[in-house]
């Protein structure tokens, strides 16, 4: 049976699994769905067309699913979909999508969203990411998997951050950051690879060295991007991670950090 504090305000139309825990003064709107094992601590607000998966932990004063901060938003029934085993810390805010972004904001599973971070409308956040205190994702940002976003980082609208990348604290990121790269500064520039992150993901020395070679061809030679991609694909051994790296760069619309 759900454990709901008597001071919580829950619309009777909300759908809560039988074992969720709802703390004091929590407010939950009519279209909210919360799956098994999720715990919502005091004073959090969950509203809108929001679906929250299993075993999430939502801390006090988090704001989840309230209307997008977009002047073009006119009340359309856009969604916020959150996966499983996420930790959403105090005062974090997550907004649903808009017409201009496909009507959905999506957060995967096993993410840590620290205090005061903001996930804006139409963002796509993958799995096992850490988004630190005060970091802000503008609308339509894509964070792939295993990314670390440092404290007070600002990410411009429509920017993509590739798998395994790391963004240094205080960075202002206005262009795409390729997989496995280390970016920092205002405006953010590349500072090599996230080698420690690759080691933690179980990459062996051969794989890391190969990605290093690709990085040097792409960003330390004087080749144009298409020439560098051709050289990487023609000279380096095929690896799934290398394909992630090259495909990400080839698909970039904003251009990549350099």
Interval 15-43: pLDDT, tens: 999 999 999 999 999 999 999 999 999 99
pLDDT at 157: 98
- Catalytic-labelled residue, pool 70, 84, 122, 145: 122
- Do the domain assignments include residue 55? yes
Regarding whether 129 and 28 lie in a shared domain, the answer is yes
Active-site residue flag, 139: yes
Regarding whether 134 and 55 lie in a shared domain, the answer is yes
Contact 101, 139 (CB under 8 A): yes
- Catalytic-labelled residue, pool 48, 83, 101, 139: 139
Sequence-ordered strand ranges (E) for 114-173: 118-119, 124-125, 130-131, 136-137, 142-143, 148-149, 154-155, 160-161, 166-167, 172-173
Mean pLDDT per 10-residue run, the chain (258 residues)? Answer: 93 97 98 98 98 98 98 96 98 98 97 98 98 98 98 98 98 98 97 97 96 98 96 96 98 96
Regarding whether 129 and 204 lie in a shared domain, the answer is no
Regarding whether 116 and 203 lie in a shared domain, the answer is no
The helix (H) or strand (E) run that includes residue 201 is none
Regarding whether 208 and 86 lie in a shared domain, the answer is no
Nearest to 115 by CA among 143, 136, 129, 97: 136
Regarding whether 118 and 16 lie in a shared domain, the answer is yes
Regarding whether 106 and 28 lie in a shared domain, the answer is yes
Residue located via tokens 């009507």: 103
- Catalytic-labelled residue, pool 118, 121, 140, 156: 121
Active-site residue flag, 121: yes
The CATH number for 220's domain is 1.20.1180.10
Give pLDDT tens digits for 49-91.
Answer: 999 999 999 999 999 999 999 999 999 999 999 999 999 999 9
Regarding whether 202 and 139 lie in a shared domain, the answer is no
End-to-end CA distance of the chain: 54
Distance CA 1, CA 148 (A): 37
- Do the domain assignments include residue 160? no
Active-site residue flag, 134: no
176: helix, strand or coil = strand
C-alpha radius of gyration, the chain, whole number: 20
Regarding whether 130 and 214 lie in a shared domain, the answer is no
State the pTM of this model: 0.96
Domain boundaries, position 9: 3-143
pLDDT at 135: 98
> Domains in the chain: how many in total?
2
The CATH number for 98's domain is 2.160.10.10
- Do the domain assignments include residue 158? no
Regarding whether 38 and 127 lie in a shared domain, the answer is yes
Distance CA 56, CA 129 (A): 14
Distance CA 144, CA 166 (A): 11
């Amino acid at each position: 049976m759900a454990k709901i504090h008597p001071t919580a305000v829950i619309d009777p139309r909300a759908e809560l699994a039988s074992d969720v825990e709802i703390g004091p003064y929590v407010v939950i709107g009519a279209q909210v769905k919360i799956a098994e094992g999720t715990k919502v601590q005091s004073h959090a607000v969950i509203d809108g067309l929001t679906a929250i998966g299993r075993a999430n932990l939502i801390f006090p004063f988090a704001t989840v699913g309230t209307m997008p901060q977009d002047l073009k938003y006119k009340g359309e029934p856009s969604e916020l979909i959150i996966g499983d085993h996420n930790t959403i810390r105090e005062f974090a805010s997550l907004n649903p999508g808009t017409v201009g972004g496909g009507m959905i904001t999506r957060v995967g599973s096993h993410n840590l969203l620290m205090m005061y971070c903001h996930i804006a409308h139409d963002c796509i956040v993958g799995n096992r990411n850490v988004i630190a205190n005060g970091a802000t994702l503008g609308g339509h940002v894509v964070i792939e998997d295993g990314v670390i976003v440092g404290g007070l980082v600002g990410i411009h609208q429509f920017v993509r951050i590739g798998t395994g990348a790391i963004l240094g604290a205080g960075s202002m990121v206005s262009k795409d950051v390729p997989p496995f790269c280390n970016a920092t500064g205002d405006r953010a520039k590349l500072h090599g690879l996230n080698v420690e992150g690759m080691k933690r993901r179980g990459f062996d020395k051969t794989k890391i060295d190969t990605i290093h070679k690709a990085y040097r061809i792409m960003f330390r030679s004087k080749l144009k991007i298409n020439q560098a991609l051709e050289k990487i694909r023609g000279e380096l051994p095929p690896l799934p991670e290398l394909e992630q790296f090259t495909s990400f760069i080839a698909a970039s619309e904003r251009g990549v950090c350099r």
